[in-house]
Structure 1
Amino acid sequence: MSEKHIDEISGVETTGHEWDGIRELNNPMPRWWVWTFCATILWAVGYAIAYLPIPSFGDATEKVLGFSSRAELQQELDRAKREQARFDILIASKSVEEIDADPKLRAFAIAGGASAFKVNCAPCHGSGATGGPGFPNLNDDDWLWGGNLSAIQQTIAHGIRFEADPETHVSEMPAFGDVLERTQIRQVAAYVWGLTNTAFDPAWAEAGKQVFLENCAVCHGEDDRGNQEIGAPNLADAIWLKGRGEEAIIHQVSLPKHGVMPAWSARLGGPIVKELTVFVHSLGGGK
């Protein structure tokens, strides 16, 4: 029987193993740790018997406590659906103003509206509702047909220039290419661009003001700030829907582009339209 080797530095017996001159100290685990480890094994076995079905060749063992994670998940889903149904009834019965004034209903409506927006509105307005060329940015303060709750609800429900809905918003800008001379169109474009930027030719912009007052002010107003009752945009806020620059304005004045927005009430139903209304209003630009 070989003699036990004692480490000179620590004074601890070694296991007899050696790797490249390095010996392993024989330090057993603390007794309390060993018993704790054994207890966890016993607990795991007991947990498996009580809660988990143990597979066999043909079937699985019955759980002693009858626990089912699927059943628990189903109970949570059923509970969530009941709570959702309660909120749906409240959304359907209240006005958008009442919904917006109730913190819990407002939070529910914003969550539902955000989901509906991603499915139905994001293809045009973008996932962040920032819009794009020809599609309005819903985060800013520029509203063609009004930015309060009732106005937004009306626009979402009945759309814009949507022929299938008799209550849709309708307005069209005349094609001034058939009314004004080319020089007049360039002058009015210089004037409109000069409201928020530097016109290419200030003299043309000055002449364009009179052209604007005679032909455009009836809709856009003498102060250039538009008219939400007829969907005439504000021209003095540096927000451009159809394109930026004098050339883009010339094209729009000569042969206007008219967008169409679907009426969502028939497709989505009143409650979801209300949720969309509260969501859009919450983006920051709503009045």
Structure 2
Amino acid sequence: MAENNPFPGENNTGHVWDDNLRELANPPPRWWMLGFWASILFVITYTILYPSWPVGQQATPGLLGWTQIQEYEQGVAQVDAKRGPFEEQISQMTAEEIIADPGLLQYTLASAKVLFGDYCSACHGSGGQGNPGYPVLADDDWLYGGSITKLKETITNGRKGAMTAHANILSAEEIDALSNWVVEMHDGSEGSAAGWELYRAKGCNACHGEKANGVLAELPGGEVVTVGAANLTDSIWRFEPGGFESARHTIMYGVNQPGIPETRDAVMPAFGSVAKVDDVEVRKLDDQDIKKLAIYVHQLGGGG
């Protein structure tokens, strides 16, 4: 083929296709060759200085002795050194004192936001807006009270409310009447006299309170006594989407009722609980983290 090269004098290989497509034999540009040899030199230097070649179960250590774990530990140490003074203050102050200190409060909220994302957002949403079936934390509606004390208690011990399933206790007419009355109350109405009478006659006030606001008693310090029953007098529905059918479902099948597949599931885990891992007692969150989260949720929802 080279003997029949139609482009004599051209630096090509003699391979020609379709009459004029040919393979040239020109050398690469000098800059390209310099970059090529420089890259080879870089690789050789890198493998000498840093861990690179696998030898058995480990890699060659490199002359610099650098490791990712070492760099990570140094970074953690730097962060801990910055956080240390703030963490020390938080450990020695009450939640109320922290809230009163703007600078320390800002640090606490920033730190707790990470904890909230790790432990709470899966159920309550990244901004406390509440995922379907879980309480909203960004409003001022609290099932167990929104004070710092109550919030720490909730985060530490968890919550598992209960409501009796009334499908076999009340008649269909009574269930419909109570469901309609609950909708009236959530819509801002004072509720019909017949509804209030049925509400009390069937013992709903034992959990939801005499005012149907979920409060059984108000204590002098502002705390309230509650069993976690929903407030029926506001516009907030514990279980979405709300309305007649939602209220009817809850009344019929209750909340956390064993043996009833249709019951509402409403369980919050205890983040202060102790578990044994390899015979070592560990907690999901320590007291300091629980204090931070309580402050974060308190500020998120405006307290209460």
Normalised by the shorter chain, which TM-score bucket? Answer: 0.5 to 0.7
Contact 1:141–1:286 (CA under 8 A) maintained in structure 2? yes
Contact 2:137–2:297 (CA under 8 A) maintained in structure 1? yes
**CA offset at residue 247 of structure 1?**
7.2
Matches within 5 A, 1:34-49: 34-49=33-48
Equivalence for 2:107: 104
Partners of 1:47 and 1:85 lie apart in 2 by 37
Matches within 5 A, 1:72-91: 72-80=71-79, 88-91=87-90
The question of 1:238 aligning with 2:235 is answered yes
**CA offset at residue 254 of structure 1?**
9.1
Identity %: 28
Contact 2:188–2:235 (CA under 8 A) maintained in structure 1? no
| Matching residue's letter, 2:194 | G
**CA offset at residue 17 of structure 1?**
3.1
SS of the equivalent of 1:142 reads coil
Change (3 A) 1:246 1:106: closer
Partners of 2:196 and 2:246 lie apart in 1 by 20
Of 188, 196, 215, 2:186 maps to: 196
How many aligned residue pairs are there? 259
Q: Which runs of 5+ in 2 are unaligned?
A: 216-222, 257-265, 275-284
Contact 1:116–1:276 (CA under 8 A) maintained in structure 2? no
| Matching residue's letter, 1:29 | P
Partners of 1:85 and 1:47 lie apart in 2 by 37
Equivalence for 2:281: none
Q: Which has the larger radius of gyration?
A: 1
| Matching residue's letter, 1:235 | L
Contact 2:145–2:151 (CA under 8 A) maintained in structure 1? yes
| Matching residue's letter, 1:285 | G
SS of the equivalent of 1:195 reads helix
Equivalence for 1:147: 146
Equivalence for 1:14: 11
Partners of 1:264 and 1:47 lie apart in 2 by 46
Partners of 1:142 and 1:226 lie apart in 2 by 10
Partners of 1:61 and 1:247 lie apart in 2 by 67
Equivalence for 1:285: 301
| Matching residue's letter, 1:45 | I
SS of the equivalent of 1:24 reads strand
| Matching residue's letter, 1:18 | H
Partners of 2:51 and 2:145 lie apart in 1 by 59
**CA offset at residue 108 of structure 1?**
1.3
Deviation by residue 1:60-82 (Cα, 9 ceiling, x = unmatched): 86734444444334433454566
Contact 2:181–2:192 (CA under 8 A) maintained in structure 1? yes
**CA offset at residue 212 of structure 1?**
6.8
Of 117, 140, 146, 1:114 maps to: 117
| Matching residue's letter, 1:272 | D
Partners of 1:18 and 1:98 lie apart in 2 by 85
SS of the equivalent of 1:147 reads coil
Task: Name the structure with the higher strand share.
Answer: 2
**CA offset at residue 198 of structure 1?**
11
Task: Name the structure with the higher helix share.
Answer: 1
**CA offset at residue 113 of structure 1?**
3.9
Partners of 2:197 and 2:159 lie apart in 1 by 28
Q: Which runs of 5+ in 1 are unaligned?
A: 163-171, 200-204
Change (3 A) 1:252 1:274: same
| Matching residue's letter, 2:233 | A
- CA RMSD, 1 decimal: 5.1
Contact 2:95–2:295 (CA under 8 A) maintained in structure 1? yes
